[in-house]
Amino acid sequence: MKRYIRAVVAGMLVALLFCMVKNFIGHKFPNSSYGMQAAIGMEEIDHLFIGSSLFRQGIDILTLEEHMEGKSYIMSYNGNQPVQILEEMRMLLRNDVKIENAYVDLYVYSAALRPAISDTKLIWDLDFSGKVTIYKDMVTYSEAGFPEFFDFFIKSNNEYMVMYPVFYSILQSEFYKGGNIRETIGSTSEILDNLGTPGDRAGIDPVQKKALREIVKLCKEENINLYFVEVPKYYTLAETDYYIRLRSELESIVSDCKYAKAEEVVFDNENPAYYQDLFHLSAEGRRTYTKNLINRIEEIKAEEVVK
């Protein structure tokens, strides 16, 4: 019987070891094309775009490289919230990454939520202290209990770790400096017009508001030029009353900052070929939007000089 108990204990120990490797050194596994570690590897970033999947699908890295001077990088995680963006920026700075300009995604639906992780890849990429900070936020503001602890530190990314060699080569082929380089095709008006919108929310979450203010403060302290960017949503969503209301609430928090609003960038958000769904742009939409976003950023810079 002892041998059977030993087998069970051995299985538990291997699982523990596996989780320790994942939590303490997983983020150091090489990844040169996607996520936080690739950004850290760059050491100096002139244009850091940091946000949700809207950035990954909405900003074209090749267009950035063509039209913007210096090194660009897109750091994105699905549903990335301001509290997480703040921690990601802190981790980059902890790792001595020099950032010249930061462009932060202003996305109402992630800012309207209590702190929670939508993309487990973020947990993988954070160092242990970053993981603890994010988890503490979840405990404090979202009443996370044992199931969340188990998901966060034990369950998340195990499949990713086992399949790491496969993933590494896939990420290498699909991403370049954090940007999606796959030729994703656009949709049709029949499909997009019939897609349901995510609906209303109670308002911007106070914890996310605070994190946005912290991001502004951090950038000031570190002499980083901060811009907020709103990726244009398909018109059926962008023109709803609740979206407009939520967005104006979000804008009021960053009213003193440089901000490229969606409607200030020349872009046809009624063209279904530019969209995969109500939020994410197609490859064609991505290129068009990025080109015009760069122009808008140049205008903002010029306005700053005049001021």
Interface with another protein by CB under 8 A: which residues?
Answer: 1, 3-8, 10-12, 14-15, 18-19, 53, 78, 119-121, 147, 150, 154-155, 158-160, 162-163, 166-167, 170-171, 174
Residue 102 CB, nearest approach to another protein (Å) = 24
- 43 vs 159, beta carbon nearer another protein: 159
Residue 30 CB, nearest approach to another protein (Å) = 17
Percent composition of the chain: helix, strand, coil (DSSP 3-state, to 5): 60, 10, 30
Residue 221 CB, nearest approach to another protein (Å) = 34
- 166 vs 266, beta carbon nearer another protein: 166
- 124 vs 228, beta carbon nearer another protein: 124
Cβ-based neighbours of 108, under 8 Å, separated by 6 or more = 201, 204, 243, 246, 247, 250
Total number of residues shown for the chain:
307
- 24 vs 150, beta carbon nearer another protein: 150
- 47 vs 131, beta carbon nearer another protein: 131
Contact (Cβ atoms closer than 8 angstroms) between residue 24 and residue 132: no
Dist CA 212 CA 50 (whole Å): 13
The two structure tokens encoding residue 135: 């988890």
- 184 vs 292, beta carbon nearer another protein: 184
Q: Which residue has the tokens 């996305």?
A: 107
Q: How far is CA 232 from the centre of its chain?
A: 16
Residue 115 CB, nearest approach to another protein (Å) = 20
Residue 10 CB, nearest approach to another protein (Å) = 5
Dist CA 87 CA 90 (whole Å): 5
Residue 98 CB, nearest approach to another protein (Å) = 29
Directed axis angle between helix 128-142 and helix 82-94, to 10°? 160
Q: For the chain, how far is it from start to end, CA to CA, in angstroms?
A: 80
